[in-house]
């Protein structure tokens, strides 16, 4: 028996040795299946050629990401060298202590974080003065609209006659709602919504909340979702789905909603800004060159209702090879590479990329996006953000289906928010 | 009660394979008819066509003089008993018996009366509340028969009902069925592959082979005068010895030249066999027509001298296998008293008055005067 | 009193089954035991520790949770709906297939196709087909002047849609099991019944149904047990919505564990679900032994 075991052990030892050797030269990253990931993937061969490091990007749907990440993050040594973190996981990941501080790396290599849009660094960068992440891309939400419909002379005069207002990119929420009603005729809808539980509806409705001048909470982390503005925001949302949207919008995910817009089925769609580039892609859109994006209009001109959103890069404490991960991170977030990503259609997080002449020349709407980003609002981020999104999504959906009144649904969401905030020790 | 008549009935499957071909048969009212034949001969198919479980592809089936080809089985007023009883396993014996009557809406009192009557007759009145799974094979068979009886049909069709029983039980049930038939006087058609059943039970036997009727007749008639080598070889154990031979003129007479020797053809048969003189024939000799005492062999006894190969002592009788140099061995049935051993020489007398000759080309029996 | 040979046989038996038992213990027994153990603690993925023993608190919280109660109710109606519909269709098709002689293999293959598909794929395909404005189903309905139907955007419709998609996906399971049962039935009782004057319907009622009873019970129980655990289709098609119309227990537990990160409570919920399923399996086992 012992004789038999010996070669077996030897074989085992040598294969594990080989495995760990290969491990050292391989970077594994878990990313979401979105356009910005593709832009990174397109540039990976450059990095591999430069460094000889083998890069493996595992791409999954958003829905699976959190489920896949958590077990790896809890482990002492996980399989992911580098991860991307959605802004509303930040509180949870920070609280659980899953992310490695990056300040030493930044100082050692003199990496300059000042070009990042400050709101981005707040959202997916530093927490309490310590840098845990570098902002990857932003998905602040904006209003996609059909420029051709706005410029149509017949529409202009009809709108003027109906409302007494000029037909133009809306500057206030009320003006926008009037346009939504105006453009709804037969199969053509004024707006398409993403009403699926939990995050599509929660994220989209946040714009309605901010556009109506509402907020999630006050300075003491007490929910303000029971405010009149919030109730009106939910009523507006329900009206848009029921009266001015396509059948089934209450169950649309963002891709299904975007398809309706891209097929020319709706005048407007409040969504993630990266869909602006997709609307000009002839392979997925029939409204190429007819689309504009603007900040979601607010209560008065100059104020916006846009929800901020972003992903950050982080090195998990369970990373098998943090040094290599940083080597990739500082490359992919360098200005050169960030510009290359933006030129493919990526959503920048750095002001120097927004202002880059080449980027602006290719995408004149980058200026709109920068404005959108600068004026956008943040979703409350704390340990229980994912749970709150779940609760909010459920309650909003219940209101949309008519199972609850807007006020009741928001009261329920507010109550659970307060409980979660208290549990997290934030309530003052 | 009713007669059953088959007129040129055939059953063919897609592709032209015939299960049954061109059967003509009349079963008289109250008759006990046996369908006998090896498996696959079409006897069960014929029975099932009478029952209506299979459709005839040609010909007419008449029950009680009425054409029933297109009549539903239930409306033919017959009962069928299956080989594996086909009891309803989830119903008690009582429910099994009453199933058909309940479907017909027979009044409850009448059902009770019939069940009481039949269950006593079949000796199953103690078992009425049991399930089939709690019964022995013989008991199940009685229940199956009982289920056929309660409906008081015009005819009973029995599809190898005894073949799943052990030998002893089979003998008992055989007698019971005969008694039942005597008592009821209903037409019965009984399918079997067991020639003892056929010989002992039926008033007439219909022997079938490859989907065709070979011979129909009373058991003894079929036994003594088999229509061809198939029937000759099928009935009785051991069956008739069928030996290739030549028929030759022998002075005034005829002689059969076997490997073992010659046998003179009895005078009454000569005229009938004369045309076959000089030809190959098959000689059919029943083992029981060999006798140890010449006196028992009758006027046409002829001496046969040979050697014993094997001895099967069965008790009441002994079967000898006798060697025939240059030919196949043959069997003889002798009394038990003998002290014969394998290897012994033996002298037996054959009763040539029982001899049959068969034409080897057609396998048919060559006609001769039947009684001598 | 055990003889030495019997004792040796028993030892040998244990030796043969030991590797299998150990494997089962490792991959099934241990996780279950660990989950039940965890359910007694305030264990979250954010603070993974077994410091806070809370006894049965997690169970009490779970049972008192209105949302859980609602999910349990939705699950119950969902299971009842799919099992009843799948059984009715399945039995009908199985009966039809049982009396079909030609092309049975082809029907079999066609029917088995959905069953071979991953539920996630099924969900995605149907979500696409049922897109209210861009899907082919509403387009085809439109051609005959119907619709558009709001398949997933309305609570009642969404529930029915999910039930129908599950039926589409799983009905073959019933068909295959029931067909196996039907083709194993003896032929003679039917012939006996036919001679006795039973119509097709009477034969079905008096013979097929009673004879099939054990198969039916087993089929229904297996299907119910699997149906209770339905998760993928809900996850892909509705996320429990709209509102909470399709919020099944499995998806609820998933959210407790991986969104709420409250593993203790999720384990308690899973334990409750396990208890129900174990009870049903025990009953199934008893029924099968009687057969």
Could you report the per-residue pLDDT of A163-187, keeping only the tens digit for each?
989 999 999 999 999 999 999 998 8
B219 shares its domain with B337? no
CB < 8 Å to C206, chain B: 88, 99
Cβ of B89 within 8 Å of Cβ of C189? The answer is: yes
Please give the Cα distance from C290 to B349 (Å, whole number): 66
Please give the Cα distance from B56 to C149 (Å, whole number): 55
Q: Which of B53, B74, B82 sits opposite C196 (nearest CB)?
A: B74
User: pLDDT at position B111, please?
Assistant: 93
Please give the Cα distance from C263 to C261 (Å, whole number): 6
Cα angle B79, B84, B88 (rounded to 5 degrees) comes to 70
User: If you average pLDDT over residues C68-84, what whole number do you get?
Assistant: 93
Report the greatest alpha carbon distance in chain B: 80
Domains of chain A: 2-138+309-374 (3.40.190.10), 141-294 (3.40.190.10)
**How far is the alpha carbon of C150 from chain A, nearest alpha carbon, in Å?**
5
User: pLDDT at position B1, please?
Assistant: 64
Query: How confident is the model over C240-267, as pLDDT tens digits?
Result: 878 889 999 999 998 888 888 888 889 9
- The one-character DSSP state at B75 is G
What's the gap between Cα A66 and its chain centre?
14
Domain boundary among the residues B177, B209, B234 is at: B234
DSSP collapsed to 3 states, C224-275:
HHHHHCCCHHHHHHCCCCCCCCCCCHHHHHHHHHHCCCEHHHHHHHHHHHHH
pLDDT beneath 70: ranges in chain A: 1-24
User: pLDDT at position A95, please?
Assistant: 87
Tell me if C30 is assigned to some domain.
Answer: no
User: pLDDT at position C291, please?
Assistant: 55
B63 shares its domain with B198? yes
Tell me if B364 is assigned to some domain.
Answer: no
Tell me if B294 is assigned to some domain.
Answer: yes
Tell me if B63 is assigned to some domain.
Answer: yes
B68 shares its domain with B170? yes
- The one-character DSSP state at A416 is H
Report the residue of chain C nearest A74, measured CA to CA: C45
Res. B338 pLDDT band, cuts 50 70 90? low
Query: How confident is the model over A309-323, as pLDDT tens digits?
Result: 999 999 999 999 999
B78 shares its domain with B215? yes
- The one-character DSSP state at B265 is P
Positive or negative torsion for Cα C129, C130, C132, C136: positive
Name the domain count of chain C. Answer: 1
Chain A with chain C: Cβ pairs closer than 8 A: 106
pLDDT at C268 over 70: yes
CB < 8 Å to C211, chain B: 89-90
The overall average pLDDT reported for chain C is 88
Q: Which of A66, A260, A401 sits opposite C258 (nearest CB)?
A: A66
pLDDT at C36 over 60: yes
Please give the Cα distance from C70 to C245 (Å, whole number): 9
Cβ of B99 within 8 Å of Cβ of C193? The answer is: yes
Tell me if B72 is assigned to some domain.
Answer: yes
Res. C290 pLDDT band, cuts 50 70 90? low
CATH code of the domain containing C133: 1.10.3720.10
CB < 8 Å to B103, chain C: 196-198, 202
Q: Which of C153, C240, C245 sits opposite A247 (nearest CB)?
A: C153
Tell me if C132 is assigned to some domain.
Answer: yes
Cβ of A397 within 8 Å of Cβ of C243? The answer is: yes
Strand partners, B158: B81, B190
Helix (H, G, I), strand (E, B) or coil at A316: strand
Start-to-end C-alpha separation, chain A: 67
B19 shares its domain with B129? yes
Tell me if C64 is assigned to some domain.
Answer: no
Cβ of C255 within 8 Å of Cβ of A390? The answer is: yes
Residue B242 CB neighbour total at 10 angstroms: 19
Cβ of C189 within 8 Å of Cβ of B53? The answer is: no
Tell me if B365 is assigned to some domain.
Answer: no
User: pLDDT at position A84, please?
Assistant: 95
Query: How confident is the model over B152-209, as pLDDT tens digits?
Result: 899 999 999 888 888 888 888 899 889 989 988 999 999 999 888 888 898 999 999 9
- Please answer whether residues B326 and B339 qualify as being in contact, where contact means their C-beta atoms are separated by less than 8 angstroms: no
Q: Which domain holds residue B324?
A: 241-358
Helix (H, G, I), strand (E, B) or coil at C40: coil
> What is the dihedral angle through the alpha carbons of A101, A107, A111, A112, rounded to the nearest 10 degrees?
100
Cβ of B151 within 8 Å of Cβ of C196? The answer is: yes
Q: Which of C151, C244, C255 sits opposite A248 (nearest CB)?
A: C151
Tell me if B309 is assigned to some domain.
Answer: yes
Tell me if C88 is assigned to some domain.
Answer: yes
Query: How confident is the model over B271-299, as pLDDT tens digits?
Result: 889 899 889 999 999 999 999 888 888 88
Please give the Cα distance from B263 to B246 (Å, whole number): 11
Tell me if B10 is assigned to some domain.
Answer: yes
B249 shares its domain with B201? no
User: pLDDT at position C1, please?
Assistant: 60
Report the residue of chain B nearest C212, measured CA to CA: B90
Q: Where are the alpha helices (DSSP H) in A272-321?
A: 275-278
Neighbours, chain A (3 or more CB pairs < 8 A): C
Chains C and B touch (3+ CB pairs under 8 A): yes
B54 shares its domain with B175? yes
Element (H, E) at C9: helix C4-24
pLDDT at C153 over 70: yes
B162 shares its domain with B293? no
Q: Which domain holds residue C217?
A: 72-257
Domain boundary among the residues B184, B204, B234 is at: B234
Please give the Cα distance from C237 to A251 (Å, whole number): 9
Q: Which of B52, B78, B86 sits opposite C192 (nearest CB)?
A: B86
* Percent of chain C residues past pLDDT 70, beyond the cut: 99
Which of B48, B77, B78, B90 would best serve as a mutation to test chain C binding (most C beta carbons within 10 A)? B90
B68 shares its domain with B84? yes
C206 touches chain B (CB under 8 A): yes
Name the domain count of chain B. Answer: 2
Tell me if C89 is assigned to some domain.
Answer: yes
Tell me if C266 is assigned to some domain.
Answer: no
Tell me if B368 is assigned to some domain.
Answer: no
Domain boundary among the residues B202, B234, B266 is at: B234
The overall average pLDDT reported for chain B is 89
C195 touches chain B (CB under 8 A): yes
- Using CA atoms, how far residue B166 sits from B80, B85, B160, B174, in Å, is 21, 15, 13, 12
Q: Which of B52, B78, B103 sits opposite C202 (nearest CB)?
A: B103
Chain B with chain C: Cβ pairs closer than 8 A: 60
DSSP collapsed to 3 states, A37-65:
HHHHHHHHHHHHHHHCCEEEEEEECHHHH
Phi-psi region of A192 (alpha: psi -120 to 50; beta: other; left: phi over 0): beta
User: If you average pLDDT over residues B33-51, what whole number do you get?
Assistant: 92
The better pLDDT of the pair C147, A174 is held by A174
B226 shares its domain with B299? no
Tell me if C194 is assigned to some domain.
Answer: yes
- Please answer whether residues A153 and A166 qualify as being in contact, where contact means their C-beta atoms are separated by less than 8 angstroms: no
Task: Give the predicted TM-score (pTM) of the model.
Answer: 0.76
CB < 8 Å to C202, chain B: 103
The better pLDDT of the pair C290, A226 is held by A226
B124 shares its domain with B160? yes
Tell me if C164 is assigned to some domain.
Answer: yes
CATH code of the domain containing B195: 3.40.50.300
CB < 8 Å to C31, chain A: none
């Amino acid at each position: 028996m012992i004789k038999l075991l010996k070669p077996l052990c030897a074989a085992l030892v040598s294969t594990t040795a080989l495995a760990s050797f290969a491990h050292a030269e391989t970077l594994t990253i878990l990313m979401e299946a979105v356009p910005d990931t593709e832009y990174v993937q397109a540039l990976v061969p450059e990095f591999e050629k430069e460094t000889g490091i083998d890069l493996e990007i595992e791409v999954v749907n958003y829905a699976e990401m959190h489920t896949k990440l958590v077990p790896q993050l809890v482990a002492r040594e996980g399989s992911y060298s580098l991860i991307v973190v959605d802004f509303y996981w930040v509180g949870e990941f920070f609280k659980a202590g899953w992310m490695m501080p990056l300040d030493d790396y930044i100082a050692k290599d003199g990496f300059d974080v000042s070009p990042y849009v400050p709101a981005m660094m707040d959202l997916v960068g530093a927490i309490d003065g310590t840098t845990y992440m570098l902002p990857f891309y932003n998905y602040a939400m904006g209003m996609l609209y059909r420029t051709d419909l706005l410029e149509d002379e017949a529409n202009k005069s009809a709108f003027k006659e109906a409302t007494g207002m000029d037909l133009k990119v809306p500057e206030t929420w009320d003006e926008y709602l009037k346009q939504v009603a105006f453009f709804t005729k037969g199969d053509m809808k004024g707006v398409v919504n993403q009403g699926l539980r939990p995050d599509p509806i929660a994220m989209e409705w946040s714009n309605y909340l901010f556009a109506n001048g509402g907020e999630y909470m006050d300075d003491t982390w007490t929910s303000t979702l029971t405010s009149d503005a919030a109730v009106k925001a939910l009523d507006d949302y329900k009206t848009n789905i029921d009266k001015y949207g396509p059948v089934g919008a209450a169950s649309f995910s963002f891709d299904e909603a975007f398809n309706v817009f891209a097929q020319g089925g709706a005048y407007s769609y409040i969504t993630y800004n990266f869909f602006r580039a997709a609307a000009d892609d002839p392979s997925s859109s029939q409204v190429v060159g007819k689309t504009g994006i603007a900040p979601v209009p607010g209560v008065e001109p100059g104020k916006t209702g846009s929800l901020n959103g972003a992903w950050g890069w982080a090195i998990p404490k369970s990373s098998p090879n943090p040094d290599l991960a940083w080597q990739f991170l500082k490359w992919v977030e360098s200005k050169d590479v960030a510009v290359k990503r933006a030129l493919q259609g990526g959503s920048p997080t750095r002001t120097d990329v927004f202002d880059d002449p080449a980027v602006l020349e290719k995408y004149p709407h980058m200026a709109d996006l920068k404005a959108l980003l600068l004026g956008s609002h943040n979703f409350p981020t704390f340990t229980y953000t994912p749970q709150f999104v779940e609760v909010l999504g459920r309650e909003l959906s219940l209101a949309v289906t008519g199972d609850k009144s807007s006020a009741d649904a928001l009261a329920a969401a507010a109550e659970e928010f307060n409980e979660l905030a208290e549990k997290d020790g934030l309530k003052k | 009660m009713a007669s059953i008549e088959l007129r040129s009935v055939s059953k063919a499957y897609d592709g032209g394979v015939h299960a049954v071909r061109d059967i003509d048969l009349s079963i008289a009212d109250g008759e006990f008819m046996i369908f006998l034949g090896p498996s696959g001969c079409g006897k069960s198919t014929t029975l099932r066509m009478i029952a209506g479980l299979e459709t005839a592809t040609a010909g007419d089936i008449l029950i009680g003089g009425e054409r029933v080809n297109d009549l539903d089985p239930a409306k033919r007023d017959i009962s069928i008993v299956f080989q594996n009883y086909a009891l309803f396993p989830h119903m008690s014996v009582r429910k099994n018996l009453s199933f058909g009557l309940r479907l017909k809406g027979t009044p409850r009192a009448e059902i009770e009366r019939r069940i009481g009557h039949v269950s006593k007759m079949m000796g199953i009145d103690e078992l009425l509340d049991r399930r089939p799974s709690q019964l022995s094979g013989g008991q199940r068979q009685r229940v199956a028969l009982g289920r056929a009886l309660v409906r008081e049909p015009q005819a009973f069709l029995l599809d190898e009902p005894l073949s799943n029983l052990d030998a002893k039980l089979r003998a008992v049930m055989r007698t019971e069925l005969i008694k039942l038939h005597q008592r009821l006087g209903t037409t019965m058609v009984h399918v079997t592959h067991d020639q003892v059943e056929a010989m002992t039970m039926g008033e007439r036997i219909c022997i079938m082979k490859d989907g065709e009727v070979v011979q129909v007749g009373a058991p003894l008639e079929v036994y003594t005068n088999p229509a061809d080598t198939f029937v000759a070889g099928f009935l009785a154990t051991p069956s008739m010895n069928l030996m290739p031979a030549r028929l030759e003129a022998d002075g005034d007479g005829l002689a059969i030249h076997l490997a073992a020797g010659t046998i003179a053809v009895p005078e009454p048969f000569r005229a009938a066999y004369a045309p076959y003189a000089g030809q190959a024939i098959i000689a059919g000799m029943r083992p029981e027509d060999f006798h140890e005492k010449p006196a028992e062999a009758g006027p046409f006894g002829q001496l046969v001298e040979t050697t014993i190969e094997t001895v099967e002592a069965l008790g009441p009788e002994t079967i000898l296998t006798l060697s025939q140099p240059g030919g196949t061995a043959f069997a003889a049935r002798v009394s038990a008293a003998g002290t014969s051993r394998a290897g012994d020489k033996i002298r037996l007398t054959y009763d040539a008055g029982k001899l049959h000759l068969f034409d080897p080309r057609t396998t048919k029996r060559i006609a001769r005067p039947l009684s001598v | 009193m055990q003889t030495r040979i019997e004792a040796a046989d028993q030892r040998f038996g244990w030796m043969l089954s030991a590797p299998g038992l150990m494997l089962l213990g490792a991959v099934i027994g241990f996780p279950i035991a660990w989950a039940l153990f965890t359910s007694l603690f305030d264990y979250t993925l954010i603070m993974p520790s077994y410091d806070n023993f809370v006894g049965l608190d997690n169970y009490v919280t779970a049972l008192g949770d209105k949302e859980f109660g609602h999910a349990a109710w939705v699950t119950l109606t969902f299971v009842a709906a799919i099992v009843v519909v799948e059984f009715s269709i399945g039995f009908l098709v199985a009966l039809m297939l049982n009396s079909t002689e030609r092309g049975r293999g082809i029907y079999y293959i066609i029917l088995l196709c959905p069953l071979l598909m991953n539920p996630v794929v099924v969900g995605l395909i149907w979500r696409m087909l049922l897109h209210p404005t861009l899907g082919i189903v509403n387009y085809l309905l439109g051609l005959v002047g119907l619709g558009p139907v709001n398949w997933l955007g309305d609570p009642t419709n969404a529930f029915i849609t999910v039930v129908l998609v599950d039926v589409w996906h799983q009905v073959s399971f019933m068909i295959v099991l029931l067909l196996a049962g039907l083709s194993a039935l003896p032929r003679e009782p039917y012939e006996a019944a036919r001679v006795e004057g039973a119509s097709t319907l009477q034969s079905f009622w008096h013979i097929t149904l009673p004879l099939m009873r054990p198969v039916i019970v087993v089929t229904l129980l297996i299907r119910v047990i699997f149906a209770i655990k339905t998760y993928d289709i809900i996850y892909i098609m509705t996320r429990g919505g709209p509102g909470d119309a399709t919020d099944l227990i499995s998806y609820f537990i998933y959210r407790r564990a991986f969104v709420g990160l409250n593993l203790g409570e999720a384990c308690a919920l899973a334990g409750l679900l396990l208890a129900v399923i174990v009870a049903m399996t025990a009953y199934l086992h008893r029924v099968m032994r009687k057969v």
